[in-house]
Structure 1
Amino acid sequence: MTYLEKWFDFNRRQKEIESLLEETVAQQSEQSLTLKEFYLLYYLDLAQEKSLRQIDLPDKLHLSPSAVSRMVARLEAKNCGLLSRRCCDQDRRSSFICLTSDGQTTLATLQKAVEERLETGLNFLI
């Protein structure tokens, strides 16, 4: 198998796993979250004080700033209480996106389901 063929095979398997995870997150969350929204909650949970400046999120999520803005706005519009927003004291143009206690609870449930799916999905695909 050539390196190019290996690359395409790897890429196909990665997409299959992402599809499994997307399905898992949507099914396991009351809010029908997307995989990218799960990633957002995950990175917020890792951050100091469970919050990050919105301008720091695009690099972590591999999305454009406008896509992150739309994602946060969608989650706020769902009124599900997973996130909160607060102004940055040093720069009033910027805001922090914060993971709430409800967000932490939802994330814990999703992390367990994602870990289980990864365990079975990776064993199946590898």
Structure 2
Amino acid sequence: MITINNNSNLCTWLNMKHFENDIQTRLEKVLLKYDLSPVEFSFLHYLYDQYDAQASLLEIKDSLHLSSAAVSRMAVRLEEKDCKPIVRYHSDDNHKEVCLKMTSSGIEHFKETFGVVDQTLNELFSSSEFQNLRKEILNIDTTTKKS
């Protein structure tokens, strides 16, 4: 029989997962007003951080750790949004390579959304729940114990 105390690494991991789920749920609600999902926001964030706000689908796939199909589907969804945040084009160097570029309206939409996301995350990370979780994480016992 295994006894688990409330200060175990398992409990810390479960608390981290619960907090992560809370963050995800809160971001989904906030981003709904901007017609974006958290993954779409991450997608736009990656593009925004690139020189000239453009990147190949392969670069985005590798950066966000998504499948090629998922990146392609997300690009189509973003292209079809009302604010038209991105455009697709083929690379001049390699005509088989598909690239995406943020439009000026996409950049403005992202900047507006970023402010709200940043404020939401600041609220969540300054909460007592997160501060307690942070203390738990910092006190994780990394030594291995054998029974």
Specify if TM > 0.5: yes
Counterpart check, 1:26 vs 2:32:
yes
- Under a length normalisation based on structure 2, what TM-score does the superposition of the two structures give? 0.78
- Give the length in aligned residue pairs: 123
Q: Deviations over 1:7-26 (max 9, x none)?
A: 11111111111111121111
Larger Rg: 2
Q: Which runs of 4+ in 1 moved over 3 A?
A: none
Q: 2:70 aligns with which of 44, 63, 67?
A: 67
Describe the SS at the equivalent of 1:89. coil
Counterpart check, 1:9 vs 2:15:
yes
- 1:20–1:121 CA contact under 8 A, matched in 2: no
Counterpart code for 2:53: K
Task: Evaluate the alpha carbon distance shift between residue 62 and residue 22 of structure 1 in structure 2; reply closer, same or farther with a 3 A threshold.
Answer: farther
Kindly indicate which of the two structures has a greater share of residues assigned to helix.
1
Q: Deviations over 1:75-109 (max 9, x none)?
A: 22335321011111221111111011101100111
Structure 2: where are the runs of 5+ without partners? 1-6, 131-147
- Under a length normalisation based on structure 1, what TM-score does the superposition of the two structures give? 0.91
Structure 1: where are the runs of 5+ without partners? none
CA RMSD of aligned residues (A): 1.2
Greater relative contact order (CA < 8 Å, ≥ 6 in sequence): 1
- 1:44–1:51 CA contact under 8 A, matched in 2: yes
